[in-house]
Amino acid sequence: MTSVLVLNGPNLNLLGTREPGVYGAQTLEDVETLCRNVGKELGVDIDFRQSNHEGVLIDALHDAGAAVARGESLGVVFNAGAYTHTSVALHDAIKGAHVPLIEVHISNVHAREEFRHHSYISPVASGIIVGLGVAGYEWALRALVAQRTTQA
């Protein structure tokens, strides 16, 4: 069965307790359950990960690119958290690994602080889902599957 990597960056392990007015009350475990349920519906395995460490995220992106090249994966759903706005290294990893990727943000980053308006991920993403809460993960999974269907 084909897989999708759902990758989460720094502080997303604090979902449900960190600024619930911005990010909601659902936990990262709730997001994982949502993704696994949608994955079952769509016929894809979900590899769900979170790290607060940039290098771990980069390694996961490299591995995902290799899995896509082998035909084992459709790509990545990625919420890079604050690294979205700071990490050229993540940009380069996505581009270098040739990995199809949907960028996800739970909050509407464009309605927040000015520094959150810029993304180093967006220029190398296949698509971007912003401000739909944790439902954005579901739509990102559906988008990756739809891209496979469109390209087949």
**Tokens linked to 124:** 């190398």
Q: What is the per-residue pLDDT for 1?
A: 72
Q: What's 55-80 look like in SS3?
A: HHHHHHHHHHHHHHHCCCEEEEEEEC
Q: What is the per-residue pLDDT for 44?
A: 97
Place of tokens 């090249």: 69
Mean pLDDT of 93-99: 98
Q: What is the pLDDT of residues 32-75, one digit of tens each?
A: 999 999 999 999 999 999 999 999 999 999 999 999 999 999 99
Q: Smallest Cα–Cα separation from 42: which of 2, 8, 77?
A: 2
Which range among 82-91, 107-116, 124-133 shows the weakest confidence by mean pLDDT? 107-116
Q: Mean pLDDT, the chain, as a whole number? A: 91
Domains in the chain, CATH or no CATH each: 1-149 (3.40.50.9100)
Q: In this predicted model, which residue has the larger pLDDT, 149 or 144?
A: 144
Which residues are annotated binding-site positions? 79, 85, 92, 106-107, 116
- Is a pLDDT exceeding 90 seen at residue 100? yes
Which residues are annotated binding-site positions for substrate? 79, 85, 92, 106-107, 116
- Is a pLDDT exceeding 70 seen at residue 22? no
Q: Confidence band (pLDDT; 50, 70, 90) for 114? A: confident
Q: What is the CA radius of gyration of the chain?
A: 14
Q: Active-site residues: which are they?
A: 23, 105
Mean pLDDT of 81-105: 96
Overall pTM surpassing 0.85 (yes/no): yes
CA distance 137 to 103: 9
